[in-house]
Each structure stands twice: as structure tokens, then as C-alpha cells.
Amino acid sequence: MTTVNSVLGPLEVADLGFTLTHEHLFTASAGIQRTYPELFGDFQVLTNEVVSALSEARDGGVRTIIEVSTLDLGRDIRFLADMAARTGVNIIAATGIWRDIPRSLWNRTPDEIAPLFVREIEQGIEGTGVRAGIIKVANDAEGVTREGEIILRAAARAAKQTGVRISTHSYAPGRVGEQQVAIFEDEGLDLNRVYIGHSNDSTDLEYLLGLVARGVWLGFDRHGTALPIGPDGEGRAQTLAALIKAGAGNRVMVSHDWSVLGVSRTSDPRASRGYNSDGWLYAKRRLFPRLLELGITQEQIDQLNVDNPRHFLGG
């Protein structure tokens, strides 16, 4: 059987169940939670809110969450392992680098950085023995910068060495996914191992279907979000329905990019419920019923979060 690294050890891909492919438990900046804990209020309150949100998701049918917080997003690997153990939700942690690329990496080469990602996949993160199961990279409205390209190439080389998949943050209105794909192609990476995230910030079917034709997976992973980028909820549902009807439903995965506490929000973890009262169950409660109204079948909906993550991670 094929396995993927979870924070509690190897997980059979066949046992993933309903999987959310791009989420966060909480986000911050590298080292800030330990250095300035007062910015996070009472951390026990945050912990309780995370346990509550994960338990609610579990009871609603969510079995696995791919948690794509990296070093520069305040990844706390011990916290992730504790949350998985306490709630029974499978959590897959990330190596890689998000948008806040540390200055100490700006002038390193991909061949210097790739082994760092490989170590976190094969040996573990921060001496815990907890191994990453996904590689996260990010490029936003500025496109792929010089520093961003170094990280993309390092991620591709780590993915080729380990077989672990890549999940990207992209800026779909600027078609940044195409820039990412071009670099992965130049690195000789099998694009079936690549997930272009935040693709549903665009309604441009020509762009989205073009990415699918090149062999990548699409993350329709912003739903119930506070970020004012791209279409509203109805536009996102309509675009997803159109993709499925165009025959691309077997290359799309649905998630939210939601976190109990976000990097730029108040220290009160309950504030995130103000814009998404459903948390990690938004898709199940709001998006999927709308897809049924738009003529998508339950079988096609099930494919998005059960079959497709299994095929993406398992090959």
C-alpha cells in the first residue's frame, strides 16, 4: 500500500477519507509565537478553539487535513501532532517556504535549499521525528520573483528525490500558476505531482483548463474566506460546476484556506468565525448543496475530496 507522512506517522493513502487539501490550524510568522506570545492572547484559548473546530470537522465527516503552514507561516509541528492525537483527525504537515522567504535564503542555490526540505520529509522537523508529507511554495501578485524561483526549483528537486507532492499558493487573477508550471517543467518534474492552489480566485476557464491540460491538479481551495480576491461564493461555485461539466472534475480538489487564527487577524481566535461560521465544514454545508442545484451529481462531488486527494498523494 502507498503511504503519506502524517504528523502521527505513515498514513495509508487508502485511509485518507474525506480530505481538505489546503488548510491551516493557525498562522503567524516565523518564531513570533514563542518570542512574543502575548500577541496571541491566552494560548490555551486558541488551543481549545482548534480542538473544537477540528472535532466539529471530524464529526461532520472530515478525516484528513493537509496543513500547509511552513516555517515562515509560524509552523508549530509539536502543536500539529498534539492536535491530531487529541482529535483523531489525520494531519499532514508541510515543508517548504511560503511568501515570507527568509533573507538568509535569498542568495542560496536550489541545491543548498532542497536538502533542507528533504531532511524534513525523510528525517523529521526540528528534531521531533515528525515528517512532512507535502512541499509548500508560494508566489503571489508579484509573480515568480528571483527569490521565489530559487524556492520553486529547490521544491522541485526535493519532490523528485522524495516523491512527495508540491502544493502551491498562487495568484490566479495574474495567471501565476502558469509561471510556476513553467519552472517545474524546466526542472523535469512530473506535473502530476503538482497542485496549483487558490485557482478558484479566477473564473477564467481558458486559464484553468489550460493548467489541467498541462497535467497539474487545481486547488479550488478558497471558500468562505475573508480575502477579497476574485469572485464571490456564487462565482466560485459556478466556475467549479463549469470545470466539472467540462470533464476536469477528476483534477480538482476543494478546500478553504481557513484557519482558527490567521496571521494578520486579532488575537481572538473566535474572530475567524465572523466571516466563516462553518469553518472547515463550509464546503459540505454551503458549496456542495449549491453544486447539486447546478446539476453536479453526488458522485462527482465525492470525487473532489475523496478520490482526487487519494490519487494525487498516491500516484
Catalytic, out of 22, 72, 221, 256: 22
Q: Is 311 a catalytic residue?
A: no
Catalytic, out of 15, 42, 82, 136: 136
Catalytic, out of 100, 160, 169, 268: 169
Catalytic, out of 82, 100, 160, 198: 198
Q: Is 223 a catalytic residue?
A: yes
Catalytic, out of 100, 140, 190, 201: 201
Residues 6+ apart with CB under 8 A from 5: 11, 92, 93, 121, 131, 132, 133, 164
Q: Is 190 a catalytic residue?
A: no
Residue 97 grid coordinates:
517556504
Distance in angstroms (rounded) separating the CA atoms of residues 315 and 299: 21
Q: Is 160 a catalytic residue?
A: no
Catalytic, out of 111, 160, 257, 278: 257
Catalytic, out of 223, 256, 278, 284: 223
Catalytic, out of 24, 221, 256, 284: 24
Active site residues: 22, 24, 136, 169, 198, 201, 223, 257
